């Protein structure tokens, strides 16, 4: 039986739309490029934030150390600041004599064999009963100021007569109003009069040293004519027997770690300009702090008093 073709219904074939292989490949490539860009942007942002935080951290630590050093240098006795020559690796020491108090002298000895006591104007704050320290008048020669290593057999430090410095035995109230009596450990004649009659009480010298990647503070090691930068080594150098050296960790707290992460290769940490009665000494500080791949150079300048 034949079917009338006129009565047959044709169902149209629908065209199915999709992505070609080329379009898929292009989409994947573009998506990959965008993903790499986004990841790189995020990574750079995170690294930048981390690096910024790291630089801020080392800068803060370095600035704190420089501020402490600058504060102590501001209080240094005139003409007492000196520095060693920096090594190729950046190791270097700066040394100075800190001032405890200052006033105006009245009648110290500048002639003859000297005297063991003299009068000064009262200190503010009072120094009565305060032990230790050294009397200083007109320290215009640095070598004489540090001339305390004249033989342990005679007692140490052993400052010769006619020097700007001598060890103090006691400071007491005077019979005269507004005056104090300074007693020395032995009879002493001060070398020269101060133009402004200035009188200083000072403490033992202090050294700050860059050693490898660290900055140390040394004290309680004594007065030496030639500046020292060598640390004490067991059986080789003993501070107690008047040998020229700085304390090591056995003598803690005479050696104190101030900061680390220093890379001063090729740099000079301490530069001390010449000082006169009419010109302050300018001390330039330069430190390169480096940690976790980041580094920052900090520079600071300190003016010290010029009138002795």
What's the mean pLDDT in 109-122?
93
Cα separation of 172 and 158, whole Å?
Answer: 23
pLDDT attached to residue 263:
92
CB burial string 90-103: b at 16+ within 10 A, e below: bbbbbbbbbbbbbb
pLDDT attached to residue 220:
86
Sign of the alpha-carbon dihedral angle for 294, 300, 223, 172: negative
Residue 301 in this model has a pLDDT that exceeds 80: yes
pLDDT attached to residue 22:
78
Residue 81 in this model has a pLDDT that exceeds 90: yes
For the stretch 123-141, pLDDT in tens is 988 899 888 899 999 998 8
pLDDT attached to residue 281:
79
Q: How confident is the model at residue 72 (pLDDT cuts 50, 70, 90)?
A: very high
What percent of the chain has pLDDT above 70? 81
What's the mean pLDDT in 139-164?
80
Q: Is 283 helix (H, G, I), strand (E, B) or coil?
A: strand
Residue 231 in this model has a pLDDT that exceeds 80: yes
For the stretch 254-275, pLDDT in tens is 899 999 889 999 999 999 987 7
pLDDT attached to residue 62:
83
Residue 13 in this model has a pLDDT that exceeds 70: no
Q: How confident is the model at residue 198 (pLDDT cuts 50, 70, 90)?
A: very high
Stretch among 162-176, 194-208, 226-240 having the lowest mean pLDDT: 226-240
- Mean pLDDT in the chain? 84
pLDDT attached to residue 306:
67
Residue 9 in this model has a pLDDT that exceeds 70: no
Sheet strands (E) in the chain? 82-83, 92-96, 99-104, 115-121, 134-136, 165-173, 179-188, 198-202, 206-211, 214-218, 255-259, 270-272, 281-291, 294-304
Q: How confident is the model at residue 184 (pLDDT cuts 50, 70, 90)?
A: very high
């Amino acid at each position: 039986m034949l079917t009338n073709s006129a009565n047959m219904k044709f169902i149209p074939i629908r065209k199915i739309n999709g992505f070609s292989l080329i379009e898929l490949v292009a989409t994947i490539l573009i998506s990959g490029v965008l993903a790499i860009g986004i990841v790189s942007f995020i990574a750079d942002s995170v690294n930048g934030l981390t690096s910024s935080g790291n630089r801020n951290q080392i800068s803060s630590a370095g600035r704190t150390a420089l501020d402490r050093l600058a504060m102590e240098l501001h209080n240094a006795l005139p003409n007492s600041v000196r520095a060693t020559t920096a090594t190729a690796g950046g190791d270097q020491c700066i040394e100075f004599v800190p001032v405890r108090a200052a006033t105006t002298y009245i009648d110290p000895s500048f002639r003859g064999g000297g005297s063991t006591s003299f009068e000064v104007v009262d200190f503010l704050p009072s120094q009565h009963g305060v032990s230790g320290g050294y009397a200083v008048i007109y320290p215009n020669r640095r070598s004489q100021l540090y001339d305390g290593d004249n033989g342990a057999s005679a007692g140490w430090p052993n400052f010769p007569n006619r020097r700007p410095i001598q060890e103090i035995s006691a400071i007491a109230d005077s019979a005269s109003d507004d005056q104090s009596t300074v007693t020395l450990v032995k009879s002493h004649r001060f070398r020269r009069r101060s133009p402004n009659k200035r009188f200083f009480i000072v403490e033992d010298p202090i050294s700050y040293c860059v050693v490898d990647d660290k900055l140390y503070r040394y004290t309680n090691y004594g007065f030496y004519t030639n500046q020292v930068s060598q640390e004490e080594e067991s059986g080789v150098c003993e501070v107690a027997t008047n040998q020229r050296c700085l304390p090591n960790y056995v003598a803690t707290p005479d050696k104190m770690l101030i900061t680390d992460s220093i890379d001063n290769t090729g740099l000079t940490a301490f530069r001390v300009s010449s000082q006169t009665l009419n010109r302050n000494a300018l001390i330039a500080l330069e430190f390169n702090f480096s940690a976790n791949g980041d580094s920052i150079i900090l520079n600071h300048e300190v003016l010290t008093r010029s009138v002795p």
